Amino acid sequence: MNVKKIMVFMFAAIFLLLTIISSGCGSDDMNSRETSFNFFELIESNNLNDISLTIYYMDLFTRTRAPVTLEQLMGGWHDNSGQLINGWYDYKTVITGETLAKHRDLLNQLINIELISVANESFVNARLYYVFEHSEHGELFSFLAFSGSDDTVFINGREVKSNRIFYEIVLPFLPEDAIATIKTYLDAVWQ
């Protein structure tokens, strides 16, 4: 009789565990939609006061021995000896909400893009990374180029089909040489 009780208890525990696991993995998009919605809602409501945009840019055509990780691009990681390593970016800037408000047309284009997930998983070769952050809520929207493919990028950590606006959104805030390089890349990819 004890064996039957143990078996019933084990099956119930396994069933409960599987139910919990499957409820967390039930959607195709395991990234929070609420975070993106809040970003879009803030843009649409013209409430940019508490938002900032941080951009990290490394020349797109700089050769490296291996793909650049996001941590290498941004910096703040430690080498094997524990030394803090600076980022590999050529340019970093932080833009305030007041300045972003002057570029509302670009922001509106960004929030109206349909994000199309892709099935393949590419490697990261980080050359351009930007993140919109809220002073209280933290990261709202992030973009990372490049993947192993010219036609995909990473939005909020999820690989999606690329779009010119993902790049064009940062052009007003970059130096002339970076703008020229990005435009050359965009013209080559989207002829």
Range of weakest confidence among 4-13, 39-48, 70-79, 118-127:
4-13
Find the helix or strand (DSSP H, E) in which 7 lies: helix 2-24
> Residue 94 — φ and ψ, nearest 5°?
-120, 125
Residue position matching structure tokens 């790049």:
167
pLDDT digits (tens, 9 = 90+) for 18-72: 444 444 443 344 333 344 446 667 676 667 888 999 999 999 888 889 999 999 9
Cis amide leading into 61 (omega within 30): no
- pTM of the predicted structure, to 2 decimals: 0.75
Phi/psi at 162 (5° precision):
-75, 165
Distance CA(3)–CA(131), nearest Å, equals 56
The number of beta carbons lying within 10 Å of the beta carbon of residue 184 is 12
